[in-house]
Structures are given as structure tokens and as C-alpha cells.
Amino acid sequence: ELHVLQTGLFYQKQKPIFVGKKRLLGLKLKKSDTRYVRQVGLGYKTPKAALEGTFVDDKCPFTGNVSIRGRILRGVVVSAGKMKRTVVVRRNYLHYIQKYKRYEKRHTNFSVHCSPALDVKEGDTVTVGECRPLSKTVRFNVLKVHGSKKGSKVFTSF
């Protein structure tokens, strides 16, 4: 249960959990002693994979050191699996052109960190929350996956 797959360049461990040898000898450990999990808040539930999994992700909002604050947005995943733990989310919107009294379609793409606890595929609708900058381009974290609505009679914004 304490075994974490060690594939990185450094020892994979959660920062708040002490893995010293003397503490673990002959003791019955509680679940809270072996895994650090927290509530994101704002009504979002922590996934079961985060509670029971063995992954280590410092940028995960459920098991890492990231707080969600600021904007909560919704978009469609257009690229998943090409970057490690990062997906590209597209948001469509309409922009009003005053001269013609009409709207034009526009979109914006942004990179979002995706926790290993969530299973995200291209075409899924996701809810993302703003957090501190995690890299040069990543400022959001996936909070919830709504899945994709496939079919011919599905309403889309455009």
C-alpha cells in the first residue's frame, strides 16, 4: 500500500507524509498516515482514485500543494495524452461587432493540469479551476470531468 512506482529522477513521495523506516516498523498504520488527501472545496468531491491511488502529483488539487481560487470555467478537451498530465481545453464564445450589429464566433485554447485521479479523453467537457501558475502556460486545474455527449441530436453552442 505504501509502494509508489519509482520512475522519475527523484524519490516519489508526498511532502506531508513521513516515510522514515523506524516509524513504520511493527505499527498498524491508519489510512491518513500513508496518504495525504484534501478537499478542494467549492462543492467538488475528491475522486476515489485520489483517495485510494498510489500516484504522487504535487500539482494535483486533491493530493498536492495547489489551492483553487479565482475563476471556475468550463470547456472541451481538444488535446489529451500528448503532454504529461496536461490537457488543452477550448472555450467557444461569441464576440459582438457593433458596426454590423452581429456576433462572430471566437475561441480560446488554454493548457490545464490534469490529475492522474481523473480520466480525461478528447471531446470530454471539463470544469477547471484557477490556481497559482504551475508552469509557463498552465494556470488551471481540472476539477471535474463531465464526459462527452456523442450523438446527432446533441445541442452545441456552435
Is the pTM for the entire model greater than 0.85? no
**If pLDDT is split at 50, 70 and 90, which confidence band does 1 have?**
very low
2 Cβ contact partners less than 8 Å away, ≥ 6 residues apart: 19, 24, 34
The fraction of the chain above a pLDDT of 90, given in percent, is 63
Residue 4's pLDDT is 65
Name all domains of the chain by residue range, CATH numbers in brackets: 21-147 (2.40.50.1000)
Q: Mean of the pLDDT values across residues 91-107?
A: 97
pLDDT (tens digit per residue) in 25-65: 666 666 666 788 999 989 999 999 998 888 888 999 999 99
For 50, list phi and psi in degrees, rounded to 5.
-75, -35
The three-class DSSP label of residue 152 is coil
> Please, are residues 143 and 127 in contact by the beta-carbon 8 Å criterion?
yes
Report how far residue 55's alpha carbon sits from residue 49's, in angstroms, rounded to the nearest whole number.
9
Residue 80's pLDDT is 93
Residue 53's pLDDT is 85
